A and B are shown apart, each in its own frame.
Chain A
Amino acid sequence: MEEQLEGIVTRHRENEGNIISILQDIENEFGYLREDAIYWVSERLDIPPAKFYGVATFYAQFHLKPKGKNVITACCGTACHVKGSERLINSLVKELDIPPGEDTSEDLRFTVEKVNCVGACSIAPVIIVNKAVHGKVSPDKLMKEIKGLKAGASKN
């Protein structure tokens, strides 16, 4: 871990980075904001950890808990909302056993995230499955995709 963080700190010094870019780097490197990583960087740069957490909790992009192996991002923008995204999300949460108030299943296989708009509104409703954008998603199409993923995930 230290080696990766050393790299992040060096990059930060070279590019006049700031707290946001450090957190973005940590998130890219580890998939979420590991507590030990934040404390390490905080000590190294002599910036109190509270500053990092203040920023991390302000922005929706940062995760304080590990994400699942498969990340499913559901768009909740206006266009997707009027085309029924809420139903898609409800069925995702149910099908993937995401506990209430959480976004990741207990076995860390699936994360269901909501975002405000991914900018593909003319093919609403939009669901992103592991970075691939799917447009005009119907509940049937979605369930087929999820069942496929579930089968794949249980094999690994």
Chain B
Amino acid sequence: MGKDISIKVCMGTGGIAAGGVEVMSAFDTAFSAAGITASVEKNCSMHKVGCRGFCARDVLVDVSVNGSKATYEYIKADMVERIVQEHIVEGNPVNEWLVKDDYHTFHDKQVKVVLSDCGEVDPEEIDSYIGREGYEAIKKVLTSMSPEETTKVIEEAGLRGRGGGGFPTAVKWQMALRAPGPVKYLICNADEGDPGAFMDRSVVEGNPHALIEGMIIGAYAIGAPYGYVYIRAEYPLAVERLYRSLQQARERGFLGKNILGSGFDFDIKVKLGAGAFVCGEETALIASIEGKRGMPRAKPPFPVQRGLWGKPTIINNVETLANVPYIVRKGAAWYAGFGTDKSKGTKVFALTGKIQNSGLIEVPMGIPLKEIVYDIGGGIEGGRKLKAVQTGGPSGGCIPAAMVDTTMDYESLARVGSIMGSGGMVVLDETDCMVDVAKYFLHFTESESCGKCVPCRVGTKRLLEILNRITEGRGREGDMDLLAELSTDVKTSSLCGLGQGAPNPILSTLKHYRDEYEAHIYEKRCPAGVCKDLLTYSVLEEFCKGCMACIRVCPAGAIVGEKKQPHRIVQDICIKCGACFETCKFKAVKKG
């Protein structure tokens, strides 16, 4: 046939969950069946690729025939045969399954640096990365640049830490280079503890070699012979690909002794996290690598003075490090050209929650939140109204819908009482209760508090108790003031970032959504209809057709009534699970 065929199947965690493995083998089967494998041989290739961001549409499949590419969405294994027959054999793409316009609007406003190769390279093949100029940056650094010059490039690019703090990376590196002694450590923080965020997972799964290359450059810049990646065990696929990539990099001489003949030695070990959010904090992370309970300690001394095993140590986030090879390759000026004056470059966000197009996005810093939600995100799911966007996870805050013009840079976010954080962005709509959201985060921090310092250990517990009683209809006069006061105490007196940030979700919702707190406390009412104890379900007789659907789904047996007669909910038995509300086709169940 003489055709050049390439198939790319999205095989990140999202892709695999949607059936990526089956799709891939269906292509294999269909190719042999149609005799394509035999007729074009080498010119037919199939690749797994990492996440391209739009996991909600998985399985996404790129089919290229003689260089012209088409992308299919929501592909299942049983659809493959038709694609192979019509598109590849007969040359007519299956239009109804191709991605629609919104796939393109999702990508149009994005600028991809860290993610530029994710979804393009095969993460399990080092040659695929090398084929896209991978490992060119480390060659350039080792052959023509001093550690100081390397750091200078990062300084000019204006790269700031993407792990949440936003500290200038070059400043950290300069301190580490000046630290005395031959033994230093570079640690990559891949703990990604913010629940609702998956930027780092996608980078490690989708383009692990960029991270490895970034680590080698960083290690060279600070003079560290040893590196660690501290990665959470909840990411099995990322861990597997990381191990594989490290081995490939060693085989090619990018890791180990005398890298590329330069005399520079560096190797990387992997340490698996064991499920503790606080281990994302630098000193706790170090304790955890040393095999201890992951408890933070007071700073100073900072890790760059006394870190892992007492030696100077630098900790950088995955995204920070994965940016480095691209900056070195394309130049500081190019990178600094994106973003704002003080927040340069791009940022990856995990756009999730009640958004139409949920996924992983990379945007220039300083982009208005509005464009993320309505252009890239395609607006709110189900045509409902935006209520708020939560950024920064458990240490972050909510940006209310009225402030959707806020731009996404460190300074503007601080001004509205939220933070950039590591990139989690959870969109909330009118059916979300802000008191419940605050309670959710406090429940998280309370259970993740390591217990070392009193303000955090006891403070988060008391804060959670107050929120619990408010949402259960036992809120008291003065609770809001008490919350605000205690929050300020916990914030100012906790030992580490976990406690210092924990009250933020409360403070930010108190500031923007006082009326919701008041409704819970004084009227014993949850305006969004989320807090179970404040809800009652009842049947609107005029709409009830007596179809018995609710009676069948009610797990408590709380609904009574005859066929074709209006039903009734027995309040004493009702457990308020909402099953009837969701089942009723006639909107005859009232919540409120």
A residues within 8 Å of B by Cβ? 17-21, 23-24, 54-55, 58-62, 76-83, 87, 90-91, 94, 115-124, 126, 131-135, 139
Q: Which B residue sits closest to A15, measured CB to CB?
A: B269
Q: List 16 A-B contacts (CB under 8 A).
A: A19-B291, A20-B274, A58-B276, A61-B274, A79-B358, A79-B426, A117-B196, A119-B13, A120-B17, A121-B196, A122-B54, A122-B56, A122-B358, A123-B18, A126-B17, A132-B17
Chain B: minimal CB distance from A62 (Å) = 7
B352 engages A124 (CB within 8 Å): yes
Bound Cα distance from A55 to B137, whole angstroms: 41
Which chain A residues border B335 with CB–CB below 8 Å? Answer: none
Range class of the B interface residue count = 35 or more
B577 engages A87 (CB within 8 Å): yes
B196 engages A58 (CB within 8 Å): no
A118 engages B292 (CB within 8 Å): no
Which residue in B13, B54, B277 is a CB contact (below 8 Å) of A120? B13
Chain B: minimal CB distance from A122 (Å) = 4
B166 at the interface (CB under 8 A from A): no
Known A-B contacts A59-B276, A60-B275, A90-B577; the reply to A119 vs B293 at CB < 8 A is no
B444 at the interface (CB under 8 A from A): yes
Bound Cα distance from A16 to B528, whole angstroms: 54
Q: Which B residue sits closest to A90, measured CB to CB?
A: B577
B193 engages A133 (CB within 8 Å): no
B194 at the interface (CB under 8 A from A): yes
Q: Which A residue sits closest to B288, measured CB to CB?
A: A20
Chain B: minimal CB distance from A48 (Å) = 14
A94 engages B555 (CB within 8 Å): yes
B277 engages A121 (CB within 8 Å): no
Known A-B contacts A18-B290, A117-B196, A120-B55; the reply to A60 vs B276 at CB < 8 A is yes
B201 at the interface (CB under 8 A from A): yes
B426 engages A82 (CB within 8 Å): yes
Known A-B contacts A20-B291, A90-B577, A135-B18; the reply to A123 vs B234 at CB < 8 A is no
Chain A: minimal CB distance from B164 (Å) = 15
Which chain A residues border B193 with CB–CB below 8 Å? Answer: 116
Chain A: minimal CB distance from B64 (Å) = 25
Interface centre among A60, A78, A115 (most CB of B within 10 A): A78
Known A-B contacts A58-B293, A60-B274, A135-B17; the reply to A119 vs B56 at CB < 8 A is no
B16 engages A82 (CB within 8 Å): no
Which chain B residues border A118 with CB–CB below 8 Å? Answer: 13, 234-235
Which residue in A58, A78, A87, A132 is a CB contact (below 8 Å) of B195? A78
Which chain A residues border B437 with CB–CB below 8 Å? Answer: 82
Which residue in B236, B274, B555 is a CB contact (below 8 Å) of A24? B274
B234 engages A119 (CB within 8 Å): yes
B444 engages A116 (CB within 8 Å): yes
Q: Which A residue sits closest to B198, measured CB to CB?
A: A119
Bound Cα distance from A134 to B13, whole angstroms: 10
Bound Cα distance from A132 to B237, whole angstroms: 12
Chain A: minimal CB distance from B100 (Å) = 18
Which residue in A21, A77, A87 is a CB contact (below 8 Å) of B196? A77
Chain A: minimal CB distance from B558 (Å) = 15
Which chain B residues border A123 with CB–CB below 8 Å? Answer: 14, 17-18, 55-56, 58, 358
Bound Cα distance from A121 to B350, whole angstroms: 8
Which residue in B235, B393, B428, B579 is a CB contact (below 8 Å) of A82? B428
* Inter-chain CB contacts under 8 Å: number: 138
B483 at the interface (CB under 8 A from A): no
Which chain B residues border A124 with CB–CB below 8 Å? Answer: 352-353, 358
Chain B: minimal CB distance from A143 (Å) = 11
Contact string against A for B residues 23-45, beta-carbon threshold 8 Å, 1 for contact and 0 otherwise: 00000000000000000000000
B17 engages A119 (CB within 8 Å): no
A116 engages B277 (CB within 8 Å): yes
Which chain A residues border B566 with CB–CB below 8 Å? Answer: none
Known A-B contacts A55-B293, A119-B235; the reply to A78 vs B390 at CB < 8 A is yes
Which chain B residues border A62 with CB–CB below 8 Å? Answer: 274
B177 at the interface (CB under 8 A from A): no
Which chain B residues border A55 with CB–CB below 8 Å? Answer: 291-293
Q: Which B residue sits closest to A91, measured CB to CB?
A: B555
Which chain B residues border A60 with CB–CB below 8 Å? Answer: 274-276
Bound Cα distance from A28 to B469, whole angstroms: 41
Chain A: minimal CB distance from B293 (Å) = 4
A122 engages B275 (CB within 8 Å): no
Interface centre among B234, B437, B440 (most CB of A within 10 A): B234
Which residue in A54, A90, A126, A131 is a CB contact (below 8 Å) of B293? A54
A79 engages B18 (CB within 8 Å): no
Interface centre among A21, A76, A79, A139 (most CB of B within 10 A): A79
Bound Cα distance from A78 to B196, whole angstroms: 5
B123 at the interface (CB under 8 A from A): no
Which chain A residues border B163 with CB–CB below 8 Å? Answer: none
B195 engages A116 (CB within 8 Å): yes
Q: Which B residue sits closest to A116, measured CB to CB?
A: B195
B197 engages A121 (CB within 8 Å): yes
Contact string against A for B residues 345-363, beta-carbon threshold 8 Å, 1 for contact and 0 otherwise: 0000011111000111000
B122 at the interface (CB under 8 A from A): no
B432 at the interface (CB under 8 A from A): yes
Interface centre among A91, A117, A132 (most CB of B within 10 A): A117
Known A-B contacts A60-B275, A82-B428, A115-B234; the reply to A122 vs B352 at CB < 8 A is yes
Bound Cα distance from A78 to B354, whole angstroms: 11
Which chain A residues border B223 with CB–CB below 8 Å? Answer: none
Known A-B contacts A78-B440, A87-B578, A123-B18; the reply to A117 vs B195 at CB < 8 A is yes
Chain A: minimal CB distance from B311 (Å) = 15
Which chain A residues border B196 with CB–CB below 8 Å? Answer: 77-80, 117, 121
Residues 563-581 (chain B) with a chain A CB within 8 angstroms: 577-579
Q: Which B residue sits closest to A79, measured CB to CB?
A: B352
Bound Cα distance from A58 to B233, whole angstroms: 15
A59 engages B275 (CB within 8 Å): yes
Chain B: minimal CB distance from A123 (Å) = 6
Contact string against A for B residues 169-185, beta-carbon threshold 8 Å, 1 for contact and 0 otherwise: 00000000000000000
Which chain A residues border B555 with CB–CB below 8 Å? Answer: 91, 94
A120 engages B195 (CB within 8 Å): no
Which chain B residues border A17 with CB–CB below 8 Å? Answer: 291
Which chain A residues border B197 with CB–CB below 8 Å? Answer: 117, 119, 121
Contact string against A for B residues 261-292, beta-carbon threshold 8 Å, 1 for contact and 0 otherwise: 00000000000111111000000000010111
B440 engages A122 (CB within 8 Å): no
A119 engages B192 (CB within 8 Å): yes
Chain A: minimal CB distance from B331 (Å) = 32
Which residue in B16, B424, B428 is a CB contact (below 8 Å) of A133? B16
Which chain B residues border A81 with CB–CB below 8 Å? Answer: 195, 440
Which chain A residues border B424 with CB–CB below 8 Å? Answer: 78
